[in-house]
A = this chain, B = another copy of it.
Amino acid sequence: MNNKLLITGTVAFDEIETPSGSSGKIIGGAGTYIGVASSFFTNNLAIVSIIGEDFPEKEIKFLNERGINTDMIEKVVDGKTFFWKGKYHENMINRDTIATELNVLEKFNPVLNTEFSSSEIILLGNLHPNVQNTVIDQSTNPNRFIIMDTMNFWMDNNLNELLMVIKKVDLIIINDEEAQQLTSEKNIFNAGEKILKMGPQKVIIKKGENGSVYLDSQNKHILPAFPVLNLVDPTGAGDSYAGGIAGFLATKNELTFKEIKEAMIYGTIIASFCVEDFGIKGLRKLDTLTLNKRLKIFKSYLT
């Protein structure tokens, strides 16, 4: 069986400070959040990433136990894992980066072997556009569905490369401020329409605690967020939202408007659990029963 969902993104160390506490050094990274979130829905998935020798073997084992193939997480001998330290403001939305140590990430040049280059769904987590592009170029499946996430950093520093990647993807997931920055449009659907013209057939714009919207050339959709009970740490919310979407889509044969709308609900709920504890703790302790219960409650809020 071919690999269904291929995720590229950082597998890293994070240290997070919020007004209510500090996480200490914990595992994080877009690849980790996306992978763990996806793994609630599919066990046919792999992460392509790079780590240093300091990355705990037991955390790789944890990913494996969740059904995630880690064969393409390259471990660099004598290398140090990517590290990010951030501090959230009182509003728990804005944050300052306190430290970024790229370490092994500086040399990250993903090489996919045949088993993975034919993946049906590829989720490009937030990374340098050139790295995202390398993964796209190695994809051999003519029916692949490519999802990308990005952030304002690349718009500020590597806009041309970023636009080249955006051109090639099927679905872009981006937050509202970034969509505004990319398009100079304030209205969320106008911004989305402009992004559609840049290449993707489908656009999701995230609004954090205020939900997300979807659009393609024919359809528009608005989904509120789940009102989280206790916001502890927003880190990974966007990644787990994207991971939930990709994981859900990996269980479907068709990826039409109907499936995407349903996937957004799954992404929203996975993200709601993520932010209720530090780092991936919220997802680590989540079980399917609890997940399904909240999914059902959330759907009842919408109809």
Cα–Cα distance between A227 and B207 once the two chains are bound (Å): 12
Digitize A260-303: 1 where CB-to-B-CB distance is under 8 Å, 0 elsewhere.
00000000000000000000000000000000000000001110
Restricting to A215-246, which residues have a CB under 8 Å from any CB of B?
220-224, 227-230
Known: A210-B207, A210-B210. A189 touches B224 (CB 8 A): no
Residues of the B chain whose Cβ atoms lie less than 8 Å from the Cβ of A207: 210
- Tell me, rounded to whole Å, the shortest Cβ–Cβ distance linking A193 to chain B: 12
Tell me if B187 and A227 are in contact (CB < 8 A). yes
Is A190's CB within 8 Å of the partner chain B? yes
Q: Which residue on chain B has the smallest CB distance to residue A191? A: B227
CB proximity of A211 to chain B, nearest CB, Å? 6
A213 at the binding interface (Cβ < 8 Å): yes
Contact of A223 among B190, B224, B230 (CB under 8 A): B224
**Bound-complex Cα distance A210 to B206 (A):** 12
Let me know if A227 and B189 touch, CB within 8 A.
yes
A149→B224 CA distance, assembly (Å): 24
Cα(A301)–Cα(B301), bound, Å: 16
Pick the contact of A187 from B189, B211, B222, B228 — CB < 8 Å?
B228
Residues of B within 8 A of A213 (CB): 227, 301
> CB < 8 Å: which of B187, B188, B222, B300 contacts A220?
B300
Say yes or no: A221-B187 contact (C-beta < 8 A), given A210-B210, A213-B227, A227-B213: no
Number of copies: 2
Given A190-B229, A210-B210, A229-B187: A222 and B224 interface contact (C-beta under 8 Å): yes
For A210, the closest partner residue in chain B by CB is B210
Known: A210-B207, A213-B227. A302 touches B187 (CB 8 A): no
9 interchain residue pairs of minimum CB distance:
A210-B210, A222-B224, A222-B301, A188-B227, A224-B224, A220-B301, A187-B229, A189-B227, A187-B227
Chain B residues, CB < 8 A from A228: 187
Closest to A228 in B: B187
How far, in whole Å, are A79 and B299 apart by their CA atoms in the complex?
A: 54
- What is the chain B residue whose CB lies nearest that of A230? B187
The docked-state distance in angstroms from the alpha carbon of A188 to that of B76 is 47
Residues from chain B with a CB closer than 8 A to the CB of A187 are 227-230
Residues of B within 8 A of A301 (CB): 213, 220-222
